[in-house]
C-alpha cells in the first residue's frame, strides 16, 4: 500500500482518490474513572480541570453530528476515555442518535445509572462494546486501580444486556491479568451466555496523544502475547468446527504474495481507511484520520466538518519507510501501521521493536506448521 504526500495544498487534493467520511468516531473525553495500566488515551488526573474546560460541549457535539451526517457519515462510534463520565452524556447521546447513524457505544460499564438506562432504552445502540479486565475485584485493583469497580462493571453489563443491541466484551491482557484470562472468559459465558465471545486486543502499543500510562512496564512480551492469541484462536475455531480442524489452514489467512498485492493496489493516506473512509473527532475538536495518531489534524471547530475533512490530506507528511521494514521477509504478515510505528518510536516511518518481535513470533509459528 502506498501513502500519498504532497508539497502543495492544491496538488495533494487534486491527486487524491475519492474519499468519503463513512465511518466516524466521536471521542467525548479522554478522562476516565478507572486508571488502567495499558490505557492508550487517559491523561493524568491532574489535567482533568483543563481537559473539562476544553472538551466540546453537548451543543457542539450534536452540531458536529449533524455536519457529519450531511457529509455522508453512516456509522458512528461513541467512545472515550469513558463517555458516561460526562454529566451531559444522555443529552449528547440523544442529540447524536437522532441523526440516524448506525451507532456503537464503547464503555467500561461501571457508570450505568438509571438515567443512562432510560436514555439507552429509548435510543438503543446498534452495538455495545464493554471492556472487561478481570474476573475478580483483586484483578481490577491490579489492572485498573479500583477493586470496587468489578461489581459495578458486572452490574452495568447486566443492565446493558437488557437492550436490543448486539453486545460484545473486549479485553486487553497484560501481566497483571494474564493469569485471570480464562476466568474472564468463563465469567462472561456464565453471566451472559455461551454466545458471548471476549475479543482480545491483539497489539498493545505505547500510550498516545498525551496518555499517561506506562504501557511498556505492564504489557506482555510479544512472544507471550502471540502465543496467547494464537492458541486461543485455535481453541475458539476448534470449538466451532470440531477436532477435524487443521491448523495448517491458517496459513492462507496470512499469506498474500507481493504479486497478489500488486494485482490489487490500494492508494491511501496511511495504507488503511484512516482519512479515506474513517476519521475521529477528538475531545477537543480536532479531526484525526485515526484516533491513535494526533500527528496530523484539522481544527474542525474553526473550519467546520466538511472543510476540515476536505483539507485533511494536505497536512499529511509521511516519511519514507525505514529500510529494515521495507526489506523484511515477513512484512506481508506484519501488524505495523503508521499509528503503531509513531506510538512506539515517535516516527510514523520507524521500526517498532515490539511489533517487529511480534511479527517474528507469528512467522515462527507459521513456519513450524509448514514443517509438520
C-alpha cell at 293: 495518531
User: What's the per-residue H, E or C state across 317-356?
Assistant: CCCCCCHHHHCCCCHHHCCCCHHHHHHHHCCCCCCCHHHH
Residues pairing with 78 in the sheet: 26, 105
Q: Are strands 278-281 and 286-290 parallel, antiparallel or unpaired?
A: antiparallel
Q: What is the predicted pLDDT for the residue at 226?
A: 87
Angle at 333 between CA 227 and CA 131, to 5 degrees: 55
C-alpha cell at 199: 475479543
Handedness of CA 232, 201, 35, 39 (dihedral sign): positive
Which residue, among 151, 132, 154, has the nearest Cα to 143 in the 3D structure? 132
Taking only the tens place, the pLDDT of each residue in 190-221 is: 999 866 778 989 899 999 999 999 999 999 99
Taking only the tens place, the pLDDT of each residue in 237-249 is: 556 666 555 555 4
- The percent of residues in the chain predicted with pLDDT above 90, rounded, is 70
Q: What is the predicted pLDDT for the residue at 254?
A: 41
Average pLDDT over residues 66-91: 98
Which band of pLDDT confidence, cut at 50, 70 and 90, is reported for residue 309? very high
pLDDT beyond 90 at 258? no
Which residue, among 350, 342, 318, has the nearest Cα to 7 in the 3D structure? 318
Give the span between the Cα atoms of 38 and 28, in whole angstroms.
20
The residue ranges of every structural domain in the chain are 12-220+256-317
Check if the beta carbon of residue 349 is closer than 8 Å to that of residue 321: yes
Which CATH number describes the domain made up of 12-220+256-317? 3.20.20.70
Give the span between the Cα atoms of 24 and 200, in whole angstroms.
22
Amino acid at each position: 500500500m502506498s501513502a500519498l504526500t504532497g508539497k502543495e495544498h492544491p496538488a495533494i487534493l487534486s491527486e487524491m482518490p475519492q474519499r468519503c467520511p463513512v465511518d466516524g468516531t466521536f471521542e467525548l473525553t479522554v478522562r476516565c474513572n478507572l486508571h488502567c495500566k495499558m490505557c492508550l488515551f487517559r491523561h493524568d488526573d491532574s489535567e482533568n480541570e483543563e481537559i473539562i474546560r476544553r472538551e466540546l460541549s453537548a451543543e457542539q457535539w450534536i452540531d458536529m453530528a449533524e455536519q457529519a451526517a450531511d457529509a455522508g457519515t453512516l456509522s458512528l462510534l461513541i467512545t472515550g476515555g469513558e463517555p458516561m463520565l460526562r454529566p451531559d452524556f444522555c443529552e449528547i447521546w440523544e442529540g447524536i442518535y437522532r441523526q440516524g447513524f448506525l451507532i456503537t457505544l464503547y464503555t467500561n460499564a461501571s457508570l450505568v445509572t438509571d438515567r443512562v438506562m432510560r436514555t439507552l432504552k429509548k435510543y438503543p445502540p446498534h452495538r455495545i462494546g464493554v471492556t472487561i479486565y478481570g474476573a475478580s475485584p483483586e484483578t481490577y485493583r491490579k489492572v485498573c486501580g479500583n477493586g470496587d469497580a468489578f461489581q459495578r462493571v458486572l452490574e452495568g453489563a447486566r443492565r446493558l444486556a437488557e437492550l436490543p443491541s448486539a453486545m460484545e466484551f473486549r479485553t486487553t491482557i497484560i501481566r497483571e491479568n494474564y493469569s485471570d484470562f480464562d476466568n474472564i472468559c468463563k465469567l462472561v459465558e456464565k453471566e451472559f451466555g455461551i454466545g458471548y465471545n471476549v475479543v482480545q486486543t491483539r497489539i498493545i502499543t505505547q500510550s498516545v496523544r498525551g496518555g499517561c500510562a506506562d504501557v511498556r512496564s505492564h504489557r506482555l512480551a510479544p512472544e507471550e502475547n502471540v502465543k496467547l492469541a494464537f492458541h486461543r484462536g485455535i481453541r475458539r475455531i476448534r470449538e466451532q468446527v470440531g477436532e477435524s480442524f487443521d491448523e495448517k489452514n491458517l496459513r492462507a489467512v496470512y499469506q498474500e504474495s507481493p504479486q497478489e498485492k500488486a494485482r490489487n493496489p490500494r492508494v491511501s493516506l496511511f495504507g488503511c481507511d484512516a482519512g479515506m473512509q474513517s476519521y475521529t473527532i477528538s475531545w477537543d475538536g480536532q479531526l484525526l484520520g485515526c484516533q491513535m495518531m494526533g500527528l496530523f489534524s484539522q481544527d474542525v471547530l474553526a473550519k467546520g466538518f466538511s472543510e476540515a475533512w476536505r483539507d485533511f490530506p494536505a497536512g499529511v507528511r509521511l516519511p519514507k519507510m525505514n529500510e529494515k521494514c521495507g526489506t523484511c521477509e515477513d512484512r506481508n504478515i506484519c501488524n505495523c501501521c503508521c499509528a503503531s510505528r509513531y506510538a512506539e518510536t515517535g516516527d510514523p516511518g520507524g521500526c517498532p521493536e515490539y511489533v517487529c518481535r511480534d511479527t517474528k513470533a507469528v512467522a515462527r509459528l507459521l513456519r513450524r506448521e509448514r514443517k509438520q
